[in-house]
Chain A
Amino acid sequence: MKTTLFATLPILGFSVSLQDPALLEVKTPTDGNESASKIQISENDLRIREATHLEVYAGCKWGKASFAPERITSEPLSIEIQALYERMA
């Protein structure tokens, strides 16, 4: 059975708050006279909206270099590392 939620949406001018999934009233900004209207959205639509938004946002942010390039003029190899490369030959 499809679950239908009455929900407010995070559209400019609206506020969204964590609510019990009962009927919610949204106050729409008009010419100063507040009026109430209801928006109906299914749980499946919410799921899709969440997934779409998060896929675009979150992506590959975990695991990125977060330091600036540093110019290095030389880095002599330690004796141990030299030995590793010499052993290759």
Chain B
Amino acid sequence: MEYQHIHLSDQERERLKDHFLKMPEVTPLSRDPKFFSLIVALGIHQEIGTIHDEFSTFLYDGSTGDKVDRSDLRSELISYQGYTGVRIWSVRSQHLDPRVRGLRTLLHPGLSFNDFKQIHQCVFFPEIITQIAALQGAELVSVRPWGLNTVFGGFDPNRSYYEGNMWEFVNADAIRYATLLENRQVAFWGTHDLVSHIAGMRLEEWPKIQARGKRMREIFERYFQGIERPTPYSLVLPYALGMLLDDLAQPMNYHSESRLSVVELLAKALETQVISPHATPYLLKYPPSIETLIQLARSNDPARAQREGESTLYQVIQELGRFSQASHRSISR
């Protein structure tokens, strides 16, 4: 099977970005599958082998069982039969073993598997993946501000986070994310989306995910109402809740009772405004207990999460008070 390498010049990338900027904030990939295939393939390609590469986290050598080092991975954009995709291979391993349930169904079978039915390279076509996700009840979408912060800018392969002051966006992103879940929509930009949300997606789980998305959207909207620029101090709890919503939308975590338990505590904390969204103090140190709370949620030990969740959340709130300093800044519209 023949495929062709695609090279994008800087000018072509700029033209893609210009076209992308004209899109609505949330656009189904199916609205312009050829254009978005190129964007998504580019997003995956840019991440492969970098600190953002979530695909390599789950990639092993099928012969030795060793973990494939991400520095051994290479990728390129390809064109095949009018479809744009991304090809990923290892310079050290000819037999790849991606250890994520559902991922193999997203690989092009003819281009990824050799005659011995081993995966010698991983070839993905976003247009086909969009259709596979639709079979599982999900609409893959582009979210313009997230695309601008990833594929089209603010991307540093050597830094452990995307640039930009993310704290400016947590309130908008929380509402946006919950709304996507409510609408059965999943953003598709790069390796995290591919590996953690799309692979293994199941149709029968969507009613619960949708209901949770709706409920959380309403909670976030009430919490942030009338506030244009909430302070990091008041965003710590919503941010943690957003993280766990993302966790619960990962097929491997669909039924995680420990996460659900902590999500309930955080939702209640926002509903009762234990930390006021109008608060303006400077947060001079991130509360250490938030890590404890997140690890508790991710422990997959529901009994322990039930037992320790409230006291850990209480610690977080105490620490927020302890590590903050009052200010005169304005946050309202």
Interface residues of A (CB under 8 A from B): 3, 5, 7-10, 15-21, 43, 46-47, 49-51, 53-55, 57-67, 69-72, 74-75, 77-78, 80-81, 84-85, 88-89
Contact = CB atoms under 8 A, between A and B. Distances in A.
B95 to A, nearest CB: 13
Contact of A65 (B54, B104, B108, B321): B54
Interface centre among A3, A19, A43, A65 (most CB of B within 10 A): A65
Contacts, number: 143
Interface in B70-110: 80-81, 83, 97, 99-105, 108-110
A66 B252 CA distance: 8
Interface centre among B104, B132, B135, B325 (most CB of A within 10 A): B325
A57 B105 CA distance: 36
Interface of B: 52, 54, 57-58, 60, 80-81, 83, 97, 99-105, 108-110, 117, 125, 128, 131-132, 135, 160-162, 165-167, 173, 192, 195-196, 232, 239, 242-243, 246-247, 250, 252-253, 281-286, 298, 321-329
A61 to B, nearest CB: 6
A66 B298 contact: yes
B32 to A, nearest CB: 18
B325 A65 contact: no
Give chain A's interface secondary structure class. Answer: loop
Query: Ordered nearest first, which 9 A-B pairs have the shortest CB separation?
Result: A59-B161, A67-B252, A69-B99, A60-B161, A75-B104, A65-B196, A46-B282, A50-B282, A57-B286
B101 A17 contact: no
B326 A85 contact: no
A72 B104 contact: yes
Nearest to A62: B243
